[in-house]
Amino acid sequence: MDLIYRSTRNEAACFTASQAILKGLADDGGLFVPERIPALTKSMDELAKMSYQETAYEVMKQFLTDFTEEELKDCISRAYDEKFDTKEIAPIREADGAYYLELFHGATIAFKDMALSILPHLLITSARKNQVKNEIVILTATSGDTGKAALAGFADVPGTRIVVFYPKNGVSPIQEKQMVTQKGANTFVVGIRGNFDDAQTGVKKMFGDKALAEEMAQAGFQFSSANSINIGRLVPQVVYYVYAYAKLYGAGKLAKDERLNVVVPTGNFGNILAAYYAKLMGVPIGKLICASNDNKVLYDFFRTGTYDRNREFILTTSPSMDILISSNLERMLFELSGRDDRLVREYMSQLAEYGSYRVDSAIRTKLKKLFSAGYCDDQQTQAMIARMWNEKNYLIDPHTAVAFHVLEEYREETGDDTVTIAVSTASPFKFCGSVLDALGVKEHKTGLEILDQLTEVTGVPTPAPLARLKKRRRRFDNVVDKAAMKSCVLDFLK
């Protein structure tokens, strides 16, 4: 029997995993969730001996039950290959009393690669399984990391095209360079005059445009999303929590069934939700520690039980966490409410209408037991980067620094000395300016020279995917008004 996927807002609708991946979002606006979270079928002793790819198969086959063994193994081997600069794929480093799970060794050196390197393969396999003949057109709005990771994942994947919209003045120079030099005959990158929200709203409008969908279908195309609400992005993220536990256990750092806390720098709540799913699968995970930057909507939620996005949007030095609507929290609420689709629908309509909702006391009690939360401002972020470098000779990026700061506070407050893994989500070279500031270097080189500057100051080599950018030719220099996004897409597909 295949595992069935349902919407968090409607228990009645039923889909297979491949159908859910193709659709991305349910028609009622809800997110797809499996009818139950499957249990691991291998022991930790067996998992400890497995490679990343083998672990990925063990975990993903439990969720994507309508994929054949051959299909799934093929997707996995295409995704987790030499594009990663280490065979371990997700290596663990030890520094200052914690383990760091480094998720930035893929093609674009941010954690988005962990899922976006496999999503294209899951998607085209899903299309094949469901006799979809149309070419799949991925539309993405990005504030930096997702766009490049999606481009790298989909470039030259047959049967797909990808269009990425980014705010022309809203991404770092390195992030822009990464995108506009993207190779691949099926890729297209457009800057828009506006902010990330404008890009996002424009993309959502196209997804909701029935006439456009019709026009597309006649030309042999259909839209899909590489956004983190797609279950095809969440499932691959469960893998590295299973892998990390198994590796620490195998190395004797954890005794049998010993608990492991995790601290995750959080934005859209996808990464930390994957840790919760791993826990439900049977991995002995203890506290889930949710780390926010100054956009601390989640911290306030965990503390008060009220989710309230009515506040100023703050631009921080950890931009991938600058977010006020954490979409994947919806899946968490679904689980904690005892899978109450009616209640989730109610909360989400309050969020849409008033920008806030308050969860009931039963959910609050469960949240308190599972989670701890903290936040870290830009100054504290810089101080943490400097301290880790000066005292431990470990160079971390601002997002990872947020997580480690929150972990330190958590330990001070609770005295909890459970073994902990901090999730490290980006290479420091992606955020050279902030990292140099933190190290006390005031004058920054411009453009890509700043990569060499960070290497000169620290002696740490620039990751190859960024060093290569210097030789890359700019392929895209389209900048349009947000009103012209649709015609951009139509032109590209002609």
Ligand X SMILES: *Cc1c(COP(=O)(O)O)cnc(C)c1O
Catalytic residue ranges: 112
Q: By CB under 6 A, name the one of 6, 399, 405, 482 that touches ligand X.
A: 399
User: Which residue's CB is nearer to ligand X, number 234 or number 343?
Assistant: 234
Q: Considering the complex, what minimum distance in angstroms separates the CB of residue 43 from ligand X?
A: 29
| Residue appearing with tokens 């000395």 | 417
Q: Does 110 bind ligand X (CB under 6 A)?
A: yes
Q: By CB under 6 A, name the one of 140, 186, 425, 462 that touches ligand X.
A: 425
Q: Considering the complex, what minimum distance in angstroms separates the CB of residue 426 from ligand X?
A: 4
Question: How far is it, in rounded angstroms, from Cα 54 to Cα 70?
Answer: 13
Q: Does 112 bind ligand X (CB under 6 A)?
A: yes
Q: Does 145 bind ligand X (CB under 6 A)?
A: yes
Q: Does 269 bind ligand X (CB under 6 A)?
A: yes
Q: Does 321 bind ligand X (CB under 6 A)?
A: yes
Q: Does 426 bind ligand X (CB under 6 A)?
A: yes
Find, among 19, 8, 225, the residue nearest to 116 by Cα. Answer: 225
User: Which residue's CB is nearer to ligand X, number 329 or number 343?
Assistant: 329
For the chain, how are helix, strand and coil distributed in percent, rounded to 5? 50, 15, 35
Question: How far is it, in rounded angstroms, from Cα 179 to Cα 340?
Answer: 41
User: Which residue's CB is nearer to ligand X, number 48 or number 436?
Assistant: 436
C-alpha distances out from residue 84 to 120, 146, 221, 229, 412, Å: 16, 17, 31, 24, 36
Q: Does 322 bind ligand X (CB under 6 A)?
A: no
Question: For the CA atoms of the chain, what is the radius of gyration?
Answer: 21
Residues in 271-290 that interact with ligand X by CB under 6 A: 271
User: Which residue's CB is nearer to ligand X, number 187 or number 292?
Assistant: 292
Residues in 213-232 that interact with ligand X by CB under 6 A: 228
How many residues sit close enough to ligand X to count as binding (CB under 6 A)? 17
Q: Considering the complex, what minimum distance in angstroms separates the CB of residue 331 from ligand X?
A: 12
User: Which residue's CB is nearer to ligand X, number 48 or number 239?
Assistant: 239
Find, among 335, 112, 359, the residue nearest to 237 by Cα. Answer: 112
Question: How far is it, in rounded angstroms, from Cα 162 to Cα 492?
Answer: 10
Q: Residue 214: beta bridge partners?
A: none
Q: Considering the complex, what minimum distance in angstroms separates the CB of residue 252 from ligand X?
A: 30
Find, among 328, 330, 326, the residue nearest to 363 by Cα. Answer: 330
Question: How far is it, in rounded angstroms, from Cα 489 to Cα 84?
Answer: 31
List contacts with ligand X (CB under 6 A). Answer: 110-112, 145, 228, 265-271, 320-321, 399, 425-426
